Structure 1
Amino acid sequence: MEGVATLPLAGPTAPLDATLPESALRGLGSRPFGVYVHVPFCATRCGYCDFNTYTAGELGSGSSPESWLDGVRREFDLATRVLGTPPPVDTVFVGGGTPSLLGAEGLASILDAVRAGFGLAPDAEVTTESNPESTSPEFFAGLREAGYTRVSLGMQSAAPHVLRVLDRVHTPGRPVAAAREARAAGFEHVNLDVIYGTPGERTRDLRASLDAVLDAGVDHVSAYALIVEEGTALARRVRRGEIPAPDDDVLATGYEMIDATLAGAGLHWYEVSNWASSEAARCRHNLGYWQGGDWWGAGPGAHSHVGGVRWWNVKHPARYTGLLAEGESPAGGNEVLTDTDRHLERVMLELRLSDGLALDALGSHGAIQARAAADEGLLEPAALAEGRAVLTDRGRLLADGVVHRLTG
């Protein structure tokens, strides 16, 4: 471990007065600084989801939204001790789980805790994820009054049989209605999430989902290929042969359809899985992740990064709140990134952006590989001539392989 400190963050017994290495704190505030808050509660568990979430039955009486929020406040107190004078927060992202289960009042309390612990920059972007079924016009009005500036809604698909495979419980038309309600409440920035490549999804099903997205009038779309994660109900169904695994060719075709449809409607890709109608519509919080910013992740299982040091909290809400109540850190582990680690992550993340990666970040071997990739149609030749590596349409489909070539 670099320096004399081992973080608040060295494990569950680390004291509150532990500090980050001075090298990690150097430059704090010169980079984007965000706060992520993880809400671990869900009404039901979706079959494809491997996030750190819990239903009421799984938690029992050992944890509640009230005790969780108390833990988050205590963790923010810890953050101010660790960071000294933390910079005002540029972005806040409340994710889960299902944050909208807390209602507008609960989400307002989270933002109040961020303000008290860190302070918000005047133009801060403040996002919450929401399940369309736990929203309403009154909910969105309450969020606007609390200071939220952006809403992300989980749609996944407009096809009922696809939603059933995913174990999604919302009705197909509700996400579009929720997006319209959010816009009517004054939200300029609304995102809809789409999942494509679900077994049984047909071309016309994906087309219907995209039509619904465009009908909702949102300015941001996130579209993710279905991944069968180990330990999920979906993985067990695939293993038993009840449904087939996602097909790579189908996924590629689906991605091309999504990109063409959204681009035709004025939403252009700025990250491989994200499209926005303008630069202002891009998710600044996620750009902070992709561009090497700093963030404090609060809540069970949340990950943080400051100046090349990464750590992550224990996963169970009761353990998380219990440690903080005892005056101990909730961190379950940490790592200090080496120069090689940071280089690999920079290439992997920035190459996924439409702005691309500075060619001089690759070194001589990477630059040679970049020129070869351009010859093969994976990188844009014009951008390369200007000193940047930018994926072509074909390169986006093979992004992981391009990263491997440039860093191998």
Structure 2
Amino acid sequence: MPGQPPPGEPAPADGSLPESALTGIGSRPFGVYAHVPFCATRCGYCDFNTYTADELGSASGFDSWLDGLRAELRLAAEVLSAGGAAPAAETVFVGGGTPSLLGGERLGSVLDAIRETFGLTADAEVTTESNPESTSPEFFERIREAGYTRVSLGMQSAAEHVLRVLERTHTPGRAVAAAREARAAGFEHVNLDLIYGTPGERDEDLRRSLDAVLEAGVDHVSAYSLIVEDGTAMARKVRRGELPMPDEDVLADRYEMLDEALGEAGLGWYEVSNWASGPAAECRHNLGYWRGGDWWGAGPGAHSHVGGVRWWNVKHPARYSALLAEGGSPAQARELLTAEDQRVERIMLELRVRAGLGVEALDEDGRRAAKRAVADGLLRGEDLDRGRCVLTDRGRLLADAVVQDLIG
């Protein structure tokens, strides 16, 4: 099954967490993620937990989901309050799926529910993902008034034939227009997502996409190589020989092309797949993930992590809403991470960030591997001398292999 989580252990029906997880709550970064499982159509490459209206029927609509979300947020605040006062959310990220399908009013209600249960810090970063086709100037004005501070738009490509292969429904120019509308509505922080390496994409297609991104004047870009996930429509086409598998050498060339163009335009990398115009434009919510912070993921299939405990919710919206209506937790299962589990995850995540990884996270074999990586041009020697493992430009292309060597 695509996106299938590990079996884990049974999660408590009341959602409670062990005392060890609650120790120090509030001293670590804390964010709230809200998963919107609705999409107008299913893109061929996507394996996220999403459903179209035809798949759900009338029993699991927007309002039923919103009622469930409110109930889970109340449960979350109660659970976290067992360790003292529940922390205020420093970051909020509404993802999916297609959150913009909810419309501005319901997205405002999502943020209201988080305010009422957790509260927001004075400088909270509040992001929503949006599909360009389900946005408008009025939509951006409404969510800006509601308190959203950041918008992430799924552009993927400016080439129409690439969008067709990805089965994206928006027109090539709509993402740029939406980004401009968001900025006109008062959003200082706007992200555009790109996917590179799609079968049939040419160098000139990526250059055209980059030109469009830079023309839009956004302060953040996320760019991901196409991954053909098992169980998706694209994977079935590859298996039948209708589409070729993405070529690793082409992906590396495209990444270098992206990095060079974005860097020349003043957007520097701060995580392997993310570029920003400066620290203020970096996505603080995602940095919380990469730096081992706490977050509560609300919604069908959402994942959470608090104090070394990770859990995930049931996937189907109807089951999710039913469990909460019965007064229980929607969690399906959980994992209690050992100290070694947490150390390994720290290496996997922090090495991807420009600030790098402290060498204290490495064991003796890992430190020897770090020295070899410096000799191979994958880690910066001057940073290792200062106690940090920081990827070189070449190291970013081979980040997964570097991680494996450091873990041992």
Q: TM-score, normalised by structure 2?
A: 0.96
Aligned to 2:234: 234
How many corresponding residue pairs? 397
| Structure 1 contact 151–189 (Cα < 8 Å) conserved | yes
> 1:82 aligned to 2:75?
no
Distance in 2, matches of 1:123 and 1:24, equals 26
**Deviation of residue 337 (structure 1)?**
0.3
Identify which range, 215-224 or 352-361, moves more after superposition: 352-361
Aligned to 1:49: 46
Distance in 1, matches of 2:143 and 2:299, equals 20
**Deviation of residue 100 (structure 1)?**
0.2
> 1:354 aligned to 2:354?
yes
| Structure 1 contact 179–190 (Cα < 8 Å) conserved | yes
Deviations 1:71-101 (A, max 9, x none): 0010011112211121100000000000000
Distance in 2, matches of 1:142 and 1:194, equals 26
Aligned to 2:260: 260
**Deviation of residue 283 (structure 1)?**
0.2
Aligned to 2:279: 279
Tell me which amino acid in the other structure corresponds to 2:307.
Answer: G
**Paired residues for 1:396-407 under 5 Å:** 396-407=396-407
Query: Secondary structure of the equivalent of 1:62?
Result: helix
Aligned to 1:316: 316
Distance in 1, matches of 2:19 and 2:13, equals 18
Aligned to 1:94: 94
Distance in 2, matches of 1:69 and 1:149, equals 21
1:32 paired residue among 16, 29, 33: 29
> 1:370 aligned to 2:381?
no
Tell me which amino acid in the other structure corresponds to 1:288.
Answer: G
Query: Secondary structure of the equivalent of 2:112?
Result: helix
Q: For structure 2, which runs of at least 5 residues remain unmatched after alignment?
A: 1-8
Deviations 1:104-151 (A, max 9, x none): 101000000000110000000000000000111111000110000000
> 1:65 aligned to 2:62?
yes
> 1:203 aligned to 2:203?
yes
Identify which range, 66-75 or 78-87, moves more after superposition: 78-87
**Deviation of residue 369 (structure 1)?**
1.1
Deviations 1:349-398 (A, max 9, x none): 00000000011221322111101100100001111111100000110011
Aligned to 1:132: 132
Query: Secondary structure of the equivalent of 2:257?
Result: helix
Distance in 1, matches of 2:73 and 2:217, equals 36
> Structure 1 residue runs of 4+, over 6 Å off?
none
Q: Alpha carbon RMSD of aligned pairs, Å?
A: 0.9
Distance in 2, matches of 1:23 and 1:361, equals 21
**Paired residues for 1:7-26 under 5 Å:** 10-11=10-11, 14-16=12-14, 19-26=16-23
Aligned to 1:4: none
> 1:156 aligned to 2:153?
no
**Deviation of residue 66 (structure 1)?**
0.2
Deviations 1:230-271 (A, max 9, x none): 111000110000010100010000000000000000000000
Aligned to 2:384: 384
Distance in 2, matches of 1:49 and 1:314, equals 19
Query: Secondary structure of the equivalent of 2:60?
Result: coil
**Deviation of residue 38 (structure 1)?**
0.2
**Deviation of residue 15 (structure 1)?**
3.5
| Structure 1 contact 47–234 (Cα < 8 Å) conserved | yes
Tell me which amino acid in the other structure corresponds to 1:347.
Answer: I
Identify which range, 358-367 or 377-386, moves more after superposition: 358-367
Tell me which amino acid in the other structure corresponds to 1:50.
Answer: D
| Structure 1 contact 176–212 (Cα < 8 Å) conserved | yes
Tell me which amino acid in the other structure corresponds to 1:234.
Answer: M
Tell me which amino acid in the other structure corresponds to 1:251.
Answer: L
| Structure 1 contact 362–406 (Cα < 8 Å) conserved | yes
Aligned to 1:335: 335
Tell me which amino acid in the other structure corresponds to 1:72.
Answer: L
> 1:395 aligned to 2:392?
no
Percent identity of the aligned residues?
A: 73
Tell me which amino acid in the other structure corresponds to 1:174.
Answer: R
Deviations 1:205-229 (A, max 9, x none): 0000000000000000000000000
Distance in 2, matches of 1:19 and 1:183, equals 41
**Deviation of residue 153 (structure 1)?**
0.1
Distance in 1, matches of 2:302 and 2:249, equals 34
Aligned to 2:143: 143
Query: Secondary structure of the equivalent of 2:115?
Result: helix
Q: For structure 1, which runs of at least 5 residues remain unmatched after alignment?
A: 1-8
Distance in 1, matches of 2:277 and 2:187, equals 15
Aligned to 2:108: 108
| Structure 1 contact 15–327 (Cα < 8 Å) conserved | no
Q: TM-score, normalised by structure 1?
A: 0.96
Query: Secondary structure of the equivalent of 1:246?
Result: coil
Distance in 1, matches of 2:96 and 2:17, equals 27
Query: Secondary structure of the equivalent of 1:335?
Result: strand
Tell me which amino acid in the other structure corresponds to 1:359.
Answer: V
Distance in 2, matches of 1:118 and 1:81, equals 10
Tell me which amino acid in the other structure corresponds to 1:27.
Answer: G
**Paired residues for 1:187-198 under 5 Å:** 187-198=187-198
Query: Secondary structure of the equivalent of 1:50?
Result: coil
Distance in 2, matches of 1:40 and 1:159, equals 27
